[in-house]
Amino acid sequence: MLKYFAEELLNKCSSLRKKWEDEVKKLIAKRPERKERFSTVSDHEIKRLYTPEDIKDLDFEKDIGFPGQYPYTRGIHHTGYRGRLWTYRMFSGLGTAKDTNKRWHLLLKEGQTGLSTAFDFPTLMGYDSDSPRSAGEVGKCGVAIDTLEDFLVLVDGIPLGEVTTSMTINPPATVMWSMYIACAKKQGVPLNKIGGTIQNDMLKEFIAQKTFMLPPEPSMKLISDTIEFGTKYVPKWNTISISGYHIREAGSTAVQELAFTLRDGMEYVEHVMKTKKLEPDEFAPRLSFFFNSHIDFFEEICKMRAARKIWAHVMRYRYKAKNPRSWWMRFHTQTAGCSLTAQQPYNNVVRTAIEALAAVLGGTQSLHTNSLDEVYCLPTEHAVQIALRTQQIIAEETGVANTIDPLAGSYFVEKLTKEMEEAAWEYIEKIDNMGGMLAAIEQGYPQMEIANAAYKFQQQVENGEKVIVGVNKYVTEELQEIPILEIDEKVEKEQLKRLEEVKRRRDDKAVKRALDNLRNACKKDENVMPYCIEAVEALATEQEICDVYREVYGEYKDPGFF
Amino acid sequence: MAKRKLRIMVAKPGLDGHDRGARILARFFRDSGYEVIYTGCHQTPEQIVEAALQEDVDLIGLSCLSGAHKELFPKVVKLLKEKGADDIVVIGGGIIPKQDFQYLYDHGIKAVFTPGTPLEEIKKWIEENVKVREELV
């Protein structure tokens, strides 16, 4: 093994360090440090100083290496952001399809380079706007989509052969993707030209985000169907965005986010290989990931570097993929919603900027930056503009994109990357020994790890150990008023009218036929995608299709771990 | 006869799945010595009220982060009244803009606790405002 440092340097370092430590001891006896213990927001202990000794056992080629070369610690592309900047992809959706289409055009005009769809809760959960469960929820958290007619309005004026679109949709992913595909067909864009992502990651739903519908096994089946369909017919599409963002938002530590996300990815790879008989190289290049960028600056950068390294190893050695593209971890990042505060909301601009910078230094392929007002409601136009400008300022003004992985070689960054990698592997092995992620979920393991971490953090905030500016320190009594975007109550009425009108004029026989075909396909364990596309084109509603799935596969109820 | 412990139900009405706060509160209440029932996500107001009566709770804490609080919270209060159980105290929390608080108060929600509220403040409010419901003879 090529040693990272010469022996003489390490010896010199060691002797200087001992002298320094003696001096420190004397100094802090007179004047103690601010705290007894310093740790990241995830409570990972951080030392006073890092030196060459901390990384003396690193293997330059195996641990650090070069960008575009295995194990990609420094990035998956040879030319990094000099070749291509990360995509400015703002998660966005509100009210009706028309409202959202307007916001999308605004964002594209302001320089966004990729689209990302936020749906409302009824759509996320597979209910139509006219379901009794949807009362009060329509259009509040994102866009309401009931039928293909809504989707056509959503993408009106957007060339689907030129812009890529991400959709945050999980149980009904087959339905939304079918609608997108149907829209592309109407625009005359061939399926092998459309690009985008569907989140479509049910494991993290059971663990954290909790938009679930079907039980775990059939949920996996639908996901493998989309991966298989994408592999065959929509080669530029990322049919899954294996997510850690929500795991972190639910309160996990950074290491848990890293480990559970990667282990989820492994579960999907194994499921596709087993049930679809596909080789990893056939589908792995289109697996994508989604991480959180939280407020502890260095912890996030190291997490992302460790993520690339672990995934490359897993794909190359565990699953024996041969194509280097199968080893690449490509990920989207969102700055941490849970780090933002309702108190003194303008502070959130600062938090988002720092989190965005961490994501860039971590090498993200695409980025969403939260708006300052998202603690209260969906973002106003002005707030979302600031969030987008944050990315553009980082890209154009700060110089951090001039060189690739600039923090490599830092004793601290390389040590912390290694520590997080090792800690993540411990979790991964533990879950392996439980029988895999599905088994672990059934036992409530990741859910309880998250609940414990969330509770611990809350206690640390309550007792002042962890400071949140404006909340438990530097508190101001008077309320800072900011403009709040309100979703008009008439959005729900409008959507109900639209839905009723579509139901009235569509060919009910064609809908019934399509739904029957879908039901039979499910029962015969066929790939559902072609039948789903047929159904959306016949103007079946999202819930009508999801109800077929519910009927065949059953429903999942929240076990309520706390 | 010794009075029983206060029974608190933490409930998530509607389709919202953001349960971090609700679960932390459930655990905090349990650690504080209360009896806690956590409903899990995706409960309808009907399901919440039915469970609350079955479990004979004294307080219901509703959590909603999807913006549907003005629809869902008053519904729970209304159903409790219809069942003759309006002595069950109902409080709420989640993503609720200040301008909606009065509407909720007007519709029977006794208090609203939004992000950043210290847990001890909520506990203190409960100690001062919630009693074990009178035993039915």
Whether the per-residue pLDDT at A1 is higher than 80: the answer is no
Describe the strand order of the beta sheet including B111-113 as a list of residue ranges: B35-38, B7-11, B59-64, B89-94, B111-113
Q: Determine the Cα–Cα distance for residues A420 and A66; give it in Å rounded to an integer.
A: 20
Q: Which tokens hold the place of A217? A: 């096994």
What percent of chain A stands above pLDDT 90? 97
DSSP SS3 for A237: strand
Average pLDDT, chain B: 94
Q: Per-residue pLDDT tens for A225-261?
A: 999 999 999 999 999 999 999 999 999 999 999 999 9
The string of pLDDT tens digits covering residues B45-86 is 999 999 999 999 999 999 999 989 999 999 999 999 999 999
| Amino acid at residue number A202 | M
Which chain A residue's Cα is nearest to B39?
A560
- Beta partners for A241? A288
- In this predicted structure, what is the pLDDT of residue B1? 52
Cβ–Cβ gap A136/B26 under 8 Å = no
For the domain A78-406+414-462, what is the CATH code? 3.20.20.240
Amino acid A3: pLDDT? 83
Distance CA(A386)–CA(A390), nearest Å, equals: 6
Q: Which helix (H) or strand (E) holds A25?
A: helix A7-30
Of the CA atoms within 13 Å of residue A124, those in its CB half-sphere come to 29
Interface residue B68 vs chain A (CB under 8 A): yes
Distance CA A495, CA A489 (A): 11
Average confidence (pLDDT) over A89-100: 98
**What span, in angstroms and rounded, lies between the C-alpha atoms of A562 and B40?**
9
- What is the pLDDT averaged over residues A361-377? 96
- Please answer yes or no on whether A462 and B118 come within 8 Å at the CB atom: yes
A541: CB partners within 8 A, 6+ apart: A128, A146, A147, A499, A502, A503
Per-residue pLDDT tens for A428-460?
A: 999 999 999 999 999 999 999 999 999 999 999
DSSP state at residue A96 = S
pLDDT at A479: 80
pLDDT in tens, A115-133: 999 999 999 999 999 999 9
Cβ atoms of B67 and A376 within 8 Å: the answer is: no
- Please tell me which residue, B1 or A379, carries the higher pLDDT value: A379
Are B62 and B13 in contact by the 8 Å Cβ rule? The answer is yes
How much is the mean pLDDT over chain A? Answer: 97
pLDDT tens string B2-22: 578 999 999 999 999 999 999
Q: Determine the distance in angstroms separating the CA of A378 from the nearest CA of chain B, rounded to an integer.
A: 10
Q: What CA–CA distance (Å, rounded) separates B76 from B60? A: 9
**In whole angstroms, what is the distance from residue A307 CA to residue A248 CA?**
15
- Is A125 close to B15, i.e. CB distance below 8 A? yes
> How does residue B135 score in pLDDT terms, banded at 50, 70 and 90?
low
pLDDT value of residue B2: 57
Cα A327 from Cα A285, distance rounded (Å): 8
User: Can you tell me the distance from the alpha carbon of B122 to that of A357, in angstroms, rounded to the nearest whole number?
Assistant: 36
Name the pLDDT band for B137 (thresholds 50, 70, 90). Answer: very low
Ordered by start, the domain boundaries in chain A are 78-406+414-462, 507-553
State the virtual CA torsion across A282, A284, A285, A290 in degrees, nearest 10. Answer: 150
Q: Could you read off the pLDDT of B110-119 as tens digits, one per residue? A: 999 998 899 9
Residues 6 or more apart whose Cβ sits within 8 Å of residue B136: none
The CA distance from A501 to A490, in Å, is 16
Contact: B17, A211; criterion CB under 8 Å: yes
The answer to whether residue A404 scores a pLDDT higher than 80 is yes
Mean pLDDT for A262-289 is 98
Residues 6+ apart with CB under 8 A from A487: A94, A95, A139, A140, A377, A378, B67
Whether A117 contacts A102, CB under 8 Å: no
B98–A contact, CB cutoff 8 A: yes
Question: Do A484 and B95 lie within an 8 Å CB cutoff?
Answer: no
φ and ψ at residue A20, rounded to 5 degrees: -60, -45
Q: CA nearest B88: which of B121, B61, B113, B127?
A: B61
Contact residues for A526 (Cβ-Cβ < 8 A; gap 6+): none
Best of A123, A201, A210, A492 to mutate (most B CBs within 10 Å, chain B): A210
Whole-number Å distance between alpha carbons of B19 and B15: 11
Element (H, E) at B64: strand B59-64
> A380 at the B interface (CB within 8 A)?
no
Rg for chain B, CA atoms, rounded: 14
- Domains of chain B, earliest start first: 7-129 (3.40.50.280)
Across the range A82-86, mean pLDDT stands at: 98
Distance CA B35, CA B57 (A): 9
Measured between its terminal Cα atoms, the distance across chain B in Å is 14
